[in-house]
Amino acid sequence: MRRTLVPWVLAFSAVTAVLAQQTIPTGQSAGQGGGDQFLDGIGETSLIARYVFNGNAEDSSRNQLHAKMLGPSGAFVEDGPPRRVLLLTGDGSYVQLPSAALAGEDAVAVVGWLYLPTRATGPVFDFGQGPANRLFAVVDAQGFRASAVVGGQVRGQTSPKVVVENQWTHFAVVLDPASRVLTTYIDGVRAGQATDVNVTPAQILPQASTTNRLFLGRAQDDSAPTLHGRLRDIRLYRIALGDEPIATIRRNALAVPQAARGRGAAPEISTANIPRESPFAARLLKISDVTVETAVGMMPRLPAYVPATYIGGTAGDVRVIWPSPTDNTEVLKAGTYTVAGRVPGTLLDAKATVIVKEPAGTTTPPDRLVEAFTLNQVVLDRDAEGRDTPFIKNRDKFLRGLAASNPDNFLYNFREAFGQPQPEGTKALGGWDSQTTRLRGHASGHYLSAIAQAYASTGYDPALQKNFLQKMNYLVDTLYDLSQRSGRPAQPGGPSVADPTAVPVGPERQTYDSNLRAGAIRTDYWNWGTGFISAYPPDQFIMLEKGATYGTQDSQIWAPYYTLHKILSGLLDSYEVAGNKKALEIAKGMGGWVNARLTALPAETRIRMWSRYIAGEYGGMNEAMARLFRLTGERKFLDTAKLFDNTNFFYGNANHDHGLAKGVDTVRGRHANQHIPQITGALETFRNTKEMPYYRIASNFWGIVNDGYMYSIGGVAGARNPNNAEVFPAQPSTLWENGFATGGQNETCATYNLLKLDRQLFMYDQTAKYMDHYERALYNHILASVAEQDAGNTYHVPLNPGARKQFGNANMSGFTCCNGTALESQTKLQDTIYFHGANNQALYVNLFIPSTLTWAERKVSVQQITDFPYADTTKLVITGSGRFDVKVRVPAWATRGVVVKINGRDEPVKATPGTYLTLARAWRDKDTIEVKMPFAFHLDHVMDQPNVASLFYGPVLLAAEEAEARTDWRQVVLDANDISKSITGDPATLRFQIAGVPFKPFYETYGRHSVYVQVTFK
Ligand SMILES: [Zn+2]
């Protein structure tokens, strides 16, 4: 993630050779098969809801958007055993989907099966706000057709296609605003298409609306007849499915399976105009050889950028893609070997000499030389002009929402699991905390962390702080009370099971299950073992041990340890931030419960558990357990942390032959946010054990991900291969080839965790690269993830051309994973601006955000006054005195020279971009430090397609504003000698234009955008 230092003098004529396209083996993604990751080759993040109607109206997707049967007689009938289907008889019966099921989407596809009796007709589906705004499909005497209506005007209508009566017909309706078409399919082939359809689903069904009416078998017009017919397997997708995937869905249902994985889930963005040769190819003369040393067994980290010489003798560097072996065979013996690297889009190779040496001795584990300040030591300030900064605005959106929230809503599922009554006024959460969602309770953990952080951060407002303290204590008291019930008799002398390993199946059940339906959920807490706390009974934990996979059947589960990690983190945050001792007691109890169950399992069982897609996702349970050890000194918790070692990921195999611990890329094809918290957990385990493999796992992972898997906003994942918006591409350094999934990229919770990793690695290794990434991702993803006017926030942040962000959960009532981490991110925005040396001899200024630090240990305060990034200067004012080093980050993008003034006088400094400069002196009261770091425009190219890049100004990613959806990449022509000559605008507002196209900070972009553009040079 560095800018490419290339002289922009280019000539294309010399490149005529057809460049060999890189071939990359696919299907090597490690241990990520199975589960519900794919349905008919389409990643589950694209599936909004699925109503099979095999006996009920439940949504069998993970979103659990269950439907309601309404009217006199809708019924599920046998349709050739063992299948049941929905029967509607045209008597006013219909199905209503939750309003939130279709809201604010960018594209939509409705797919399902329909059976029409002789001369039967009626509405198939009708999604809208009323007769004047709707997307619907109807079948009548002419046949099956679809329409989109906005403001009472028909914006698109397909010609009808006759449907054969008395047999099942597969249908699909796709509204694709990027291509401006509304398409119908009958039996897997196109049946009708309306063109120039200038409407998006979000216009008809807005994000924030609670008045969306989503019907199956009924029209928006209340007096219109209802459907006479049968329905089954109705699916809603949030992507514009193309011909091939619709045909595949039908074919698979008819049991004519074909290879369904991989690409093709939706129309691809056109790459037709994008050349394969690099824009630098003709100018690149020579690539320097590099030499790298490594120890026997350890894969070397080869540099992503290598020095290069361009025509005219200009020095620069060039991106190189090195081979990435899947084991460490090459370095098992001492000696020297060479590696050839590829320069994408050129015929040139790079050469690396790798010297493999026997280690000279044992490696000394690094010490933790730097610490963060506590949250109450740093307060965000307004900028130098007295304006609220984007950080303050986002913080306050969340503080307002949290202050107004009802903690009982976040306790609802816990009380229900323990069979306890709900206080008056309590409302259950929706989203992934709804009644039957097997992840319920996860948001409560994030909420507890956020409340604790909000309490610690609001010393400037005592009333607000008291609000958060009361909430935190109430949450903890309630959870404590529930946890004390587990494994103990409900009445004196009653039965109970105290041993966590002896939890029996639920009453009147044959087996453990994940049935959480109201009235069916087991609530026999006295049988659950002492210490247990969660928002559902223990069954999911036990089922995981017995091999249960991820899914929505009662025999399946959804990541019980993931949810538990959120709850434990919330409790530990309450203890560490506010000294709530009860919170620590709850965590100790549950830590003991987990320890008892996991120590009873053979190692092979644990390896299988942690390798299981989503089901075995455990968040950072290793981090929580290592932290619990640090806070209590109880050894069993550290032992428990190690029981969460994801052996295949960390060590390659059960023999610990390679893996991340030895620098081998085991990231390929893995679910990003399932695995990133495991890495911060490894680092917390290192903190408490000093065992080097855990440190290497974390630092190697960081290097592998930053070099090979990262988008320009600092986020990851979004693979086309394997086709899932939440997973890393199948091979490193192939974002163009295997990334940019249609379903989205950059899951926001994954970036939240990457930021945690940055700061924790920096504590051991004060290399600016960690904070360079922190700044990149903080401004361009975390800051960019919040809605303009409220606390709505993003799940994925799509970077395909003409995409737009979708903001959910504005009122904190229905959470995804990312809505959960947003609560945490936005209540600790000040936590990385400054660090201090562990011995308090140095102050690190990492970020240039207006703020005031109270460094109590030195009786010094530091005020940072700046308009950054709307200005390129920051000023630090010291109150108090003393001798210490001030270390200021010189960002990697600060290539135009950094100027430092102390008390107004120039201070000669060595300020190399990508390092920290050091100002050492005896500081006196009112001393000032001014740092000027001129911004420059620079490009961040896709590693395997250098013709596509993101434009930055200093740290700020500038996105092109788009008026509408796109099917191709926006083209931008830049001056070859100096790209800034092609750009006009105002640095004080960060609003720019290139040939009339407006560019502005991505974090201020709320409409359609192109974060990546195709660049050509003139
Ligand atoms: Zn997420």
pLDDT at res. 35: 38
| Tokens, residue 725 | 């918006």
| Tokens, residue 726 | 């939440």
pLDDT at res. 37: 60
pLDDT at res. 29: 34
pLDDT at res. 210: 78
Q: Are 594 and 629 in contact (CB under 8 A)?
A: no
954-971 pLDDT, tens digit per residue, is 999 999 999 988 989 999
pLDDT at res. 6: 42
Q: What angle do CA 268, 273, 277 make, to 5 degrees?
A: 110
pLDDT at res. 2: 43
- Separation of 432 CA from ligand 1 center, angstroms? 11
Query: 305 - beta bridge partners?
Result: 319
Spell out, as residue ranges, where the chain has pLDDT lower than 70: 1-38, 81, 256-268
- Residue 848 Cα to chain centre, angstroms: 25
pLDDT at res. 254: 85
- Separation of 514 CA from ligand 1 center, angstroms? 22
- Separation of 718 CA from ligand 1 center, angstroms? 12
pTM over 0.85: yes
pLDDT at res. 268: 67
Question: Which residues are CB-neighbours of 94 under 8 A, at least 6 positions away?
Answer: 70, 71, 74, 88, 215, 216, 217, 218, 226, 227
3-state secondary structure at position 42:
strand
- Separation of 101 CA from ligand 1 center, angstroms? 18
State whether the Cα torsion 131-134-140-146 is positive or negative.
positive
pLDDT at res. 722: 86
- Separation of 748 CA from ligand 1 center, angstroms? 6
- Separation of 598 CA from ligand 1 center, angstroms? 26
pLDDT at res. 81: 66
Question: Which residues are CB-neighbours of 313 under 8 A, at least 6 positions away?
Answer: none
Question: Which residues are CB-neighbours of 439 under 8 A, at least 6 positions away?
Answer: 62, 432, 433, 558, 559, 562, 563
| Tokens, residue 97 | 């989907």
What does the radius of gyration of the chain's CA atoms come to, in whole angstroms? Answer: 29
3-state secondary structure at position 577:
helix
Q: Are 441 and 536 in contact (CB under 8 A)?
A: yes
- Separation of 820 CA from ligand 1 center, angstroms? 8
Length of the chain: 1018
- d(Cα 984, Cα 963) in Å, to the nearest integer? 20
Q: Are 730 and 941 in contact (CB under 8 A)?
A: no
- Separation of 747 CA from ligand 1 center, angstroms? 5
- Separation of 64 CA from ligand 1 center, angstroms? 17
Report how far apart, in Å, the C-alpha atoms of 837 and of each of 111, 181, 609, 951 are: 59, 59, 40, 35
Question: Which residues are CB-neighbours of 564 under 8 A, at least 6 positions away?
Answer: 534, 541, 590, 594, 618, 619, 621
- Separation of 749 CA from ligand 1 center, angstroms? 4
Q: Are 819 and 795 in contact (CB under 8 A)?
A: yes
- Separation of 750 CA from ligand 1 center, angstroms? 6
- Separation of 818 CA from ligand 1 center, angstroms? 4
Q: Cβ-count burial of 78 within 10 angstroms (0-12 exposed, 13-18 middle, 19+ buried)?
A: exposed
- d(Cα 884, Cα 728) in Å, to the nearest integer? 43
DSSP 421: P
- Separation of 807 CA from ligand 1 center, angstroms? 13
- d(Cα 611, Cα 613) in Å, to the nearest integer? 6
Q: Which of 132, 168, 129 is nearest to 152 (CA)?
A: 132
Amino acid code (one letter) for 707: D
DSSP 724: B
